[in-house]
Amino acid sequence: MSSIDVVVTGLGATTPLGADVASTWDGMLTGRSGVHALEEEWAGDLPVRIAASLAEDPTTHFDRVLLRRLDRSEQIALIAARQAWADAGFAPKDGGEGDSLDRERLAVTFGTGIGGALTLLAQDDILETRGPRKVSPFTIPMLMPNGPAAWVGLELGALAGVHSPASACATGAEAIAMGLDVIRSGRADVVVAGGTESVIAPLPIAGFAAMRALSTRNDEPERASRPWDKNRDGFVLGEGAGALVLERADHARARGARIYARLAGAGLSSDGFDIVQPHPDGQIRAMRLALENAGVSPSDVHHINAHATSTPVGDMLEVEAIRKAIGDHPVLTSTKSMTGHLLGAAGAVESIATVLAVHHGVVPPTLNLDDPDEALDLDVAAGKPRDLQINVAINNSFGFGGHNVALVFQRA
Amino acid sequence: MTREEIQNGLSEILEEVAGVNPDDVSEEKSFTEDLEVDSLSMVEVVVAAEEKFGVKIPDDAVQDLRTVGDAITFIEKAAA
């Protein structure tokens, strides 16, 4: 345990459910699905023709010149970070007087699972059809996976370091864990942490579909993401970004900031098993290490926002790991049933849902759990939200490559 | 093409790729110092100008194009 206490003071997101945290949270509590049919011509020949696209077109937030320099994943990272920054009570960089935060004490930890794939694909088209001289000089900064973190750091003037972990679907959570470490090690007082992903395009869809990882329930988009249900058949690709302002508790209190919850601890592990198949032992280790790191015991854990992506193997493996690491008492949910799987942004957006569950005392529902898997012997908030006084909640995120991250949030 | 026509064409490109106000564009203005066109945007300006005016502007010529007037002169000669 560290003597430095870290709290969450700002939240920002743009997701398939809404263009900000309030509309996303409202969508979760009302049990709305963000999944829809892909009407684009390019989707016609794909085995998967559903996705969870953003609720709002992000390009309206930027002028034409900046849009030439920002991949869509970078645009939404900036949107989420701006929201979180304002929500924490800090002033925008160009907002006149600004705030008194010492930028040498501000860091950014912000990741993406895949990076600027849309830029890579679009510029490859230009290369093939119009030649190398027409390729944008911004191609590299738009596709580099540290681009979103770098843009957030530039916009906020962060000088204490900009970091971009990449651990596939655990990226957003790993960024938050890294932010916690940065503050605990004394390198910053404030960290903007999060994740972003925007890869809804033929090649990424075909790639995930080739792994047989995606749901092919093309005729019923809203029913396709169904974690723990007997008839689940894969995850639904989503896009979005989430950002959290992490802050030293004494720093937050000194400036009178609103505190949503404590980020009490993080546990990270690797499976050492397979490049894509998960293993329960790694997940168990991550959860146990997270509790140890937070200084809490399994019985303190009231709620888990599970990784549960709606794949046949992964969902039940996690249930087994939760039972062994924590017990059968926490109330589970999978908000992926509504947002789809946001890949590198999942850990960030689901951490926001976990923080708000702790803050408001309510667990958002899991949609489409109509016929629970016979091996599901844990309590899931199915169909409707569950009022619950939460002391400690865990957000799980696991990624291809065998990355496991468990984050512990505690009522402040 | 007159110098004025070339300047108007450059103004359109500068507005499109770098957000430069056309009212700020005049022959004596430096691309980087006065108009704040950064190095990567300058690449876009050059490629767009080649297309618009049907000329070739080699990379080693670009470093000598300090002002808008320098670029107009280069394009005027190249198009002649």
**ipTM field:** 0.92
pLDDT of residue A2: 62
If pLDDT is split at 50, 70 and 90, which confidence band does A259 have? Answer: very high
pLDDT greater than 90 at residue A275: yes
**Is B16–A64 a contact, with Cβ atoms under 8 angstroms apart?**
yes
pLDDT of residue A100: 81
If pLDDT is split at 50, 70 and 90, which confidence band does A91 have? Answer: confident
A381: in domain: yes
Report d(CA A405, CA A296) in Å as an integer.
Answer: 17
Q: Which one, of A244, A236, A243, A266, lies nearest residue A342 by Cα?
A: A236
Q: Which domain holds residue A191?
A: 7-254
Same domain, A166 and A283: no
B3-40 pLDDT per residue, tens: 999 999 999 999 999 999 999 999 999 999 999 999 99
A217-258 pLDDT per residue, tens: 999 999 999 999 999 999 999 999 999 999 999 999 999 999
Same domain, A247 and A335: no
Q: What is the mean pLDDT of chain B?
A: 96
- A and B: number of Cβ contacts within 8 A: 18
Minimal Cβ distance to A137: which of B19, B44, B50: B44
pLDDT of residue A96: 46
Same domain, A313 and A174: no
Query: Which of A254, A277, A301 is at the close of a domain?
Result: A254
Q: How far is B78 from chain A (nearest CA, A)?
A: 19
pLDDT greater than 60 at residue A94: no
A273: in domain: yes
A2: in domain: no
Same domain, A299 and A391: yes
Share of chain A above pLDDT 70, in %: 98
Same domain, A75 and A181: yes
Same domain, A56 and A173: yes
Name residue, tokens 């790191």: A293
**Is B18–A65 a contact, with Cβ atoms under 8 angstroms apart?**
yes
Mean pLDDT of A181-204: 98
Distance from chain centroid for Cα A164:
14
Same domain, A162 and A306: no
Same domain, A93 and A224: yes
A4-52 pLDDT per residue, tens: 999 999 999 999 999 999 999 999 999 999 999 999 999 999 999 999 9
Question: How far, in Å, are A14, A83, A126, A164 from residue A142 at the CA level?
Answer: 19, 22, 15, 14
A260: in domain: no
A339: in domain: yes
**B23 catalytic, yes or no?**
no
pLDDT of residue A3: 82
The CATH code of the domain that includes A207 is: 3.40.47.10
**Is A64–B18 a contact, with Cβ atoms under 8 angstroms apart?**
no
Q: How far is A48 from chain B (nearest CA, A)?
A: 37
Same domain, A157 and A303: no
Same domain, A367 and A235: no
**A360 catalytic, yes or no?**
no
Same domain, A242 and A285: no
Residues 6+ apart with CB under 8 A from A410: A261, A262, A264, A294, A296, A358, A391, A392, A393
Report d(CA A142, CA A130) in Å as an integer.
Answer: 20
A294-331 pLDDT per residue, tens: 999 999 999 999 999 999 999 999 999 999 999 999 99
pLDDT greater than 50 at residue A279: yes
If pLDDT is split at 50, 70 and 90, which confidence band does A95 have? Answer: very low
Q: What is the mean pLDDT of chain A?
A: 96
The token duo for A174 is 């790993």
Angle (CA) A106 A342 A241, round 5° = 35
Q: How many domains does chain A have?
A: 2
A349-392 pLDDT per residue, tens: 999 999 999 999 999 999 999 999 999 999 999 999 999 999 99
Query: Which of A254, A279, A306 is at the close of a domain?
Result: A254
Query: Which of A220, A254, A288 is at the close of a domain?
Result: A254
Q: Catalytic residue among B23, B38, B59, B60, which?
A: B38
If pLDDT is split at 50, 70 and 90, which confidence band does A406 have? Answer: very high
How large is the angle between the packed helices B39-53 and B3-18, nearest 10 degrees? 130
Report d(CA A269, CA A263) in Å as an integer.
Answer: 18
B:13-72 residues touching chain A, CB 8 A cutoff: 16-19, 40-41, 43-44, 47, 50
Query: In this structure, what are the phi and psi dihedrals at residue A8, rounded to the nearest 5 degrees?
Result: -100, 120
pLDDT greater than 70 at residue A280: yes
pLDDT of residue A98: 63
Same domain, A390 and A300: yes
A1: in domain: no
A261: in domain: no
Four-residue CA torsion sign, A290, A293, A299, A302: negative
Residue A106 pairs in a beta bridge with: A190
A314: in domain: yes
pLDDT greater than 90 at residue A92: no
